[in-house]
Structure 1
Amino acid sequence: MPLAYGYDRFGGAEVERFADLPQPTPGTGQLLIAVRAAGVNPVDWKRRSGRRPAGAPVVELPAVMGGEAAGEVIALGPGTTGFAVGDAVLGGPLTGGYAQYTLLPARAAVHKPPEVSWTDAAALPIAAATGYGALRQLGLPKGATLLVTGVAGGVGVTAAQVAVGSRLTVVGSAAPAKREFVEALGVRFVASGHGLAARIRAVAPQGVDGVLDLVGGEVLEETAALLTDRTKLVSGAAREAVAALGGAPVGPVRDPALLGAVVELVRSGALDPKVTRVVPFEQAALAVRAVEGGHSQGKTVLEMPHPGAGLTPNAWTAEWRRAGT
């Protein structure tokens, strides 16, 4: 039977495990895909821990982790149009991306062009679409200055590249060790930590015109104070807190138009999703730890084995234990 990685109760890393699950059956308007790659995001471990932002759907247990997947269509549910068996697609899975097989809603899936790799495609449905959507939401004119906090993550690298390509000046905060990575994006680097606002003012003495917050907490409050127009403040990390400050959360990203636009940017070479770590599926725990620890830069993606690889749950579980989880 196919393998998946997830949890059957909420908690820390100790609740994660591989499971031997039945292959999903596509319903009306759904695609069954053989997953080739799956993106890893902070929201994956936050949901596992039991965190649920206001308005977010309840996580039903047991749950397979992963909100991004790219793969090949192997079956279509009743009434599904626009796709065919064998198509290469990507989107936000209904049944978790950390699995050999998963279901995609056809209404929110898009085709993967040959020029876009599987691992790059798996980085787009949440991270890249969020960064791109946030830039459109802010609507800053050419020549404006944008601040992106937590710029070195999957969302930030897309937002930064799109902003630079749109002729915005971009200031980005991240840990000091990520300076070279951030500056390579065309961003004015500012080290995160105490005194952030003063360092931002030093590199942007004319002020900032918009803020994309990807950190929340004190960072959100401190950087919000840099703006004269709080409608130019959006957050992907603190929906309720940003509203209280006069800004807005990043809008919905499960939009095929947004995702299609991001795919085209990658296909044309205008955007690099910066997949900096590709981890084999049998080491899924290591991939989640890298993202959960907050020290990764760019995007982490799981690479799935071919469905006929012949691996067994016991072998995979042994590998998982050797990984130290």
Structure 2
Amino acid sequence: MPAAPAALGSLRNDLQREGEGHMAKAYVFTRHGGPEVEALVDLEPPEPGPGELLIAVRAAGVNPVDFRLRGGYRRPGQAPAELPEVLGSEAAGVVARTGPGVEGFAVGDAVFGSTLTGGYAEYTLLPVAVAAHKPAGLSFAEAATLPVAAATAYDGVRQLALPAGATLLVTGAGGGVGGNAVRLARHWGLRVIGTASEGKKDVVESLGAVHVAPGPGLVERVRALAPDGVDGVFDLVGGEHLRTVADLVADRTKLITAGGKQIVAELGGSAVARARDAATLEAVAELAAADVLRPHITATYPLDRAGEALRTVETGHALGKVVIEVGVVSPVPG
């Protein structure tokens, strides 16, 4: 039932007071390095600038790019880290304040998107250019997993533009991006072969792909399923694995990667062209709400255990998505 006007006004007043005049918890890295440089600290909530939303974070997705940024990696065009830097690239929450010139969003709106100031925090900024309203049918935790893995998969499968009935090879099909790529490809009528460890075989097959184990003999195993090779390759592994599967696709414009960018250029392929816009987020949200990209969340952690959440992903032990829930104390499955 929609909130009554008085109740909504009270909510907005409470949210406007949030982030004003007090410190907030955030999980940061204090210098570049390994887990030893991480810390839970108190920081002043950021101030939303033009075209920005300050949100009270309800959930943040955990991704491999998070520990890579901690280690010193920067995305093309990304400014050097201002230490301490809050970890996390995606979040969902409730708009607490809006910056100048913001249209289409109001205090109290449930939103999600790519973060400007890190998602492992009680408050973060979302640029409206990469933010969207959360569908009512998705939880905050589910919405928080969409901007990185689901959107990368969406951009990549669309970039390949394979016709229905074509065969797509997804390497690393048991991971966050890979699993979403399999779901999308199957939804759009493609046959999918997915490489993943034996431990992720059941997951890959449950998504509708034919599982193939990596390692020696990989090309032969794939050719046993696709004697003439595959029509496209969506790589999430990089390295020698990417070199190995490249010969399975004759048209190298149909060879893309979200990892081995330098190697794929040498092979005649290309990196996934990320759209990074609100339209893509809205599209993946609709697909998630329709159960096509419904996130498979396997573990949730509270903010004060963000380090454990990141270790789960960093060690490669995560099956599905790991989420940090802010302000909600959740048991860790298993």
Q: Calculate the TM-score normalised by the size of structure 2.
A: 0.89
Q: Out of 20, 23, 28, which is 1:6 matched to?
A: 28
Which consecutive unaligned segments of at least 5 residues does structure 1 have? 310-325
The count of corresponding residues between Structure 1 and Structure 2 is 307
Q: 1:27 to 1:55 in 2, by over 3 A?
A: closer
Given candidates 252, 260, 265, the residue that maps to 2:282 is: 260
Q: 1:36 to 1:282 in 2, by over 3 A?
A: same
Aligned residue among 90, 100, 119 for 2:122? 100
Secondary structure of the structure 1 residue equivalent to 2:192: strand
Counterparts of 1:24-63 in structure 2, within 5 Å, are 24-52=46-74, 55-63=77-85
Aligned CA RMSD, in angstroms, stands at: 1.4
Residue pair 2:128, 2:278 contacting (<8 A) in 1 also: no
> What amino acid maps onto 1:212 in structure 2?
F
CA deviation string 1:36-73 (max 9, x = no partner): 00000100001111133555543332211100000000
Match of 1:236 in 2: 258
Q: Which residue of 1 aligns with 2:215?
A: 193
Q: Tell me which moved more, 150-159 or 202-211.
A: 202-211
Write the deviation string for residues 153-193 of structure 1: whole angstroms up to 9, x where unpaired.
11111110010011100011111111111100001001122
Structure 2 SS opposite 1:227: coil
Superposed CA offset, 1:178-224 (max 9, x none): 11111000010011223322222223233211001101000111111
Paired residues for 1:1-325 under 5 Å = 1-52=23-74, 55-305=77-327
> Matched residues in 2 for 1:111 and 1:5: separation?
25
Shift of 1:279: 1.8
**Percent of paired sites with the same residue:** 54
| Cα distance in 1 for residues equivalent to 2:213 and 2:57 | 37
Q: Which amino acid aligns with 2:162?
A: L
Seen in structure 2, the aligned counterparts of structure 1 residues 256 and 270 have a Cα distance that, compared at 3 Å, is same
1:299-321 superposed Cα distances (whole Å, 9 cap, x missing partner): 11111116xx9xxxxxxxxxxxx
- Deviations along 1:59-112, whole A, 9 cap, x unmatched? 332211100000000100111111000000000010000000000001221000
The 8 Å contact of residues 183 and 293 in structure 2, kept in 1 or not, is answered as: yes
The SS at the match of 1:96 is: coil
- Give the letter for the 1:33 counterpart: I
Contact kept, 8 Å, 1:150 with 1:173, in 2: the verdict is yes
Taking structure 1 as the reference length, what is the TM-score of the superposition?
Answer: 0.91
